[in-house]
Structure 1
Amino acid sequence: MKPMLNDLMKLIKDKRPDLAEALLPGLSIKDFEGFNTDIPADLRVLWAWCNGQSQSFYGNFHSKTNEMLMPLEVSLEVREELNELQESGDIPPDNWNYDWFPFTENGGGNYMCLSQKTSEIFYYDKYGASTGQKFGSFDSWLKDLYDGYEAL
């Protein structure tokens, strides 16, 4: 996965220099230790490569899904909020899963999430209309991301 991420960064710098400037430095092992939660291995690699994009930059990270890459801290806050909303009954049980870990967002309250149990990628739609599996694995999501930059 790391070689593909390095190649992806080259594509981003070449085709989206504005985004390249807005990407945040990756997290270190010590940074990860500061978060008292289990972070899925694929997302650890992603956030070690790049810890999201500046929250003041609203350009898309994923050119096909029109989503921004969330920093780990924001992801954890969103996940906790969605878990609490489901516990309180404000989110139907068929629209959010405690197992999901959000990592991209569209800016409108919808997220792409990694299932910690299956490693599949699910889309969370706050209205429930489009919630469901979008990619069979993190690797297939990453390939889709990479292919989108190659096509630019």
Structure 2
Amino acid sequence: MTFPALLARLDALLQQRRPAYYATLNPPATAAELAAFEAEFELTLPAELRWWFGWHNGQQGFESFVQNNCLQSLGSAAETMRVNLELLEAGDFVPNWWQPGWVPFLENGGGDHVCVDLAGTFTGHAGQIMEHWHDWEARSVLFPDLTTWLQAVVQVYETAGEGGQELTDEHMEEIELEHPANFPKDFEAGD
């Protein structure tokens, strides 16, 4: 299934199985907002990430979208990147604590993020999905790309909501995504 088709499926599932949560989602990011983000950080977002922010530009509040993470807005992602790039440039980080090509799209509200890694840190595979912890060295590559991650999210929403019951914040915090073979791949900052 293509990324836009997966997004459409997710949108329908959220409306059916989490209508109150769906009402907290922000409008899409505009083309101008996406262009400004790319210009500020001197990067080109992959099509999937542009579609992601163009679907909903984050959410209001910190209710869990999946696994205790909420949708990060483009503005919040930019602020995360600014802070971490400033600390990186000041020499405050060990290697791979933060990289300029990490674009956060999920956050837990406590300073930790799930990012699209545009550089392929650790593996050489640009576009992989990885965890960034603000106070822990673990840097797990969770999925090979955003499409594979979204397939896992759609699958969990389909199976968790079987029977028509509404899914709660607590359901989504405890959900485990099914990883493809050989994932996650565990690394540490400083390596």
The verdict on a shared fold, with TM-score over 0.5 as the criterion, is yes
* Deviation (angstroms), 1:39: 4.5
* Structure 2 equivalent of residue 137 of structure 1: 145
* Deviation (angstroms), 1:69: 0.6
Unaligned runs of 5+ in 1: none
Query: Secondary structure of the equivalent of 2:58?
Result: strand
* Structure 2 equivalent of residue 121 of structure 1: 129
* Deviation (angstroms), 1:91: 2.5
* Deviation (angstroms), 1:60: 0.8
2:46 is the counterpart of 1:44? no
Q: Distance in 2 between matches of 1:139 and 1:50?
A: 16
Q: Which amino acid aligns with 1:40?
A: L
Q: Distance in 2 between matches of 1:28 and 1:76?
A: 15
2:98 is the counterpart of 1:96? yes
Unaligned runs of 5+ in 2: 120-125, 161-191
Query: Secondary structure of the equivalent of 1:98?
Result: coil
Which shows bigger deviation, 29-38 or 124-133?
29-38
Query: Secondary structure of the equivalent of 2:106?
Result: strand
- Alignment RMSD, CA only? 1.6
* Structure 2 equivalent of residue 58 of structure 1: 62
- Output one character per residue of 1:20-60: Cα deviation in whole Å (capped at 9) or x when no partner: 00001112323433443434122111011111111xx2211
Distance 1:86 1:31, change over 3 A: closer
- Output one character per residue of 1:107-139: Cα deviation in whole Å (capped at 9) or x when no partner: 111100101130001100112343221111111
Q: Distance in 2 between matches of 1:106 and 1:130?
A: 16
Q: Figure out how many residues of one structure are paired with residues of the other and give that number.
A: 148
* Deviation (angstroms), 1:3: 1.3
Give the TM-score of the pair, scaled to structure 2: 0.72
Give the TM-score of the pair, scaled to structure 1: 0.89
- Output one character per residue of 1:72-129: Cα deviation in whole Å (capped at 9) or x when no partner: 0110110111111122232322322221111110111110010113000110011234
* Deviation (angstroms), 1:143: 1.2
